[in-house]
Amino acid sequence: MPTMDIESLRIPRRAASEPAVHKVRPAAVKAVFPTLLGSAVLGIAIAGLAYSHSRAIPLVETETVQPAQDQYASAASFTASGYIVAAHKIQVASKVIGRVQWIGVEPGDKVKQGQILVRLEDEEYRAQEQEAQGQLESMEASLKELEHGSRPAEIARSRGDLESMNAELANARSSLNRMQALYNAGVLAKQALDDAQARYDGDLGKVSSLRNALDLVEQGARAEEIDSLRGKVMQAKGALNYAQAQLDNTVIRAPVDGTILDRNVQRGEFVTTGFVGDRGAKGYLVTMADLNDLQAEVDISESLLPGIALNQPATVTTDAYPGVEFHGVVTEIAPEADRAKAAVHLKVSVQKPKEDLLPDMSATVEFLRDTQSKTEQTAAATIFVPQSAIQNGVVFVDENNRALERSVVLGNRIGNRVEVLQGLSAGDRLIVRASAALQDQESVKSK
């Protein structure tokens, strides 16, 4: 082998104080940077590919949103069966007891408010009124006497009685003085003197009494006596008014305009004011109602209640007149449901009922939608979609196999479908069910 110079192969030593500096050349950096950038992009792509393989494309079921008029016809109306009833059915009763003397109506008669229906025998009530009238007149006369005071003639008579008694008292005093002188002279017995003294004392008491009577006649009655008698007069007036009211109540009149539905009494039967059995005295006289104010009462399932609102329009038909429709309006929704039936009771007022429409007829009510209550800004107000398509106030539509999220404004609920007021349009492919939770802009595949 050729001889090598070992010393030429040695690396020279640096000074201990000289630091080691690694210089990077710009050309080397330019050469390495593209390589690092490519590696990063490749890593991101590989990660995305791995995620896409880890989550399969969700399968979805779609439903094409129908036009508003078609959707309205299929989901916004439903029917319920019930009966026609009178909105105000009245059982006219008597306020007083008595025997029926006269009856002026028959079932089917139309009556006006205030018209006489029945008269009861009133002899006892007339006698009570006369008695109360007499007591009142007596009390009023006594009150006038006290208020006006004594007449001049009465005062003059009282004064004359007092003067006459004073004269008798003076005569008794003179007689007593003579008797006393004779007794002192010893010519008169003690008994005669005592008799004269007793006469004088009696006349003296009478004079005092007549003087007090004169004072009372001149002064008149005290205010307390007048007030007391005035109270008695008021009591007498109240008794008379009560007696007159009782007498008036023997004439039973129609409380409202209406039609007589039933007559419960006959002439000669006894009427009472309390509840009694069928064979005893009657508690009411006639049943009447205003046949121009009729309602249809129906029960609907609880699931249909969200689609009902007050003043909602409806159509009422009857089995008796199947070809005739009556317009109606929901006027009452029961505040509680029927637990046994799982239903809610409704009342629908019949607008302008005909005379042939009678209470207790079977009826069918079709509940309609009040289109006039919606504004023009909700053009899709009659779109109903399945409840399963709505998640937290949003829905997804399938547009070119991609799920697009849309916020919606919801309205009424009928059955398992919910009204969408805003957010959807007719023709949209609505995703009603998906195999997994969806995300906006996510790829989907329809079944």
Domain 89-121+251-289 in this protein, CATH class: mainly beta
How many whole angstroms separate alpha carbon 390 and alpha carbon 82? 35
Q: What is the pLDDT of residues 91-123, one digit of tens each?
A: 999 999 999 999 999 999 999 999 999 999 999
What percentage of the chain carries pLDDT values higher than 90? 32
- Specify the range with the lowest mean pLDDT, choosing from 40-44, 174-178, 319-323: 40-44
Angle, helices 123-148 vs 223-248, to 10°: value is 160
d(CA 35, CA 54): 29
**Count of other CB atoms within 10 angstroms of residue 400:** 7
Class of domain 59-75+375-446: mainly beta
pLDDT higher than threshold 80 for residue 89 = yes
Q: Which amino acid, one-letter code, is at 354?
A: K
Q: What number is the average pLDDT over the span 314-319?
A: 91
Q: What's the whole-number average pLDDT of the chain?
A: 80
pLDDT, tens digit (0-9, with 9 covering 90-100), for 423-435: 888 889 999 888 8
pLDDT at 322: 82
Q: Does domain 78-88+292-368 have CATH number 2.40.30.170?
A: yes
Asked if the model's pLDDT at residue 384 lies above 60, the reply is yes
Higher pLDDT, 77 or 118: 118
Residue 70 has pLDDT above 50, yes or no: no
Quote the DSSP letter at residue 319: S
By DSSP bridging, strand 251-253 and strand 110-111 are unpaired
Q: How far is CA 323 from CA 95, 298, 353, in A?
A: 45, 20, 14
3-state secondary structure at position 118: strand
pTM above 0.75, yes or no: no
Among 90-104, 271-285, 331-345, 411-425, whose mean pLDDT is lowest?
Answer: 271-285
Q: Strand 362-367 relative to strand 343-350: parallel, antiparallel, unpaired?
A: unpaired
Does residue 294 contact residue 353 with C-beta atoms inside 8 Å? yes
Neighbouring C-beta atoms of residue 251, cutoff 10 Å: 15
CB atoms near residue 346 (< 10 Å): 25
> pLDDT of 166-225, one tens digit each?
888 899 899 889 888 888 888 888 888 888 899 989 988 888 888 887 776 766 667 787
Q: What is the tens place of the pLDDT at every residue in 226-250?
A: 788 889 999 999 999 999 999 999 9
The answer to whether residue 270 scores a pLDDT higher than 80 is yes
Joined together, the tokens standing for residue 135 give 């007591």
Written as one letter, the residue type at 207 is: V
Q: Are 431 and 396 in contact (CB under 8 A)?
A: yes
Listed by start position, the domains of the chain span 59-75+375-446, 78-88+292-368, 89-121+251-289, 128-243
Nearest to 374 by CA among 421, 304, 330: 421
Is 368 or 221 the better-scoring residue by pLDDT? 368
Q: Residue 94 and residue 84: Cα distance in Å, rounded?
A: 28
- Burial classification of residue 240, based on how many CB atoms lie within 10 Å of its CB (0-12 exposed, 13-18 middle, 19 or more buried): buried
Q: What is the pLDDT of residue 69?
A: 47
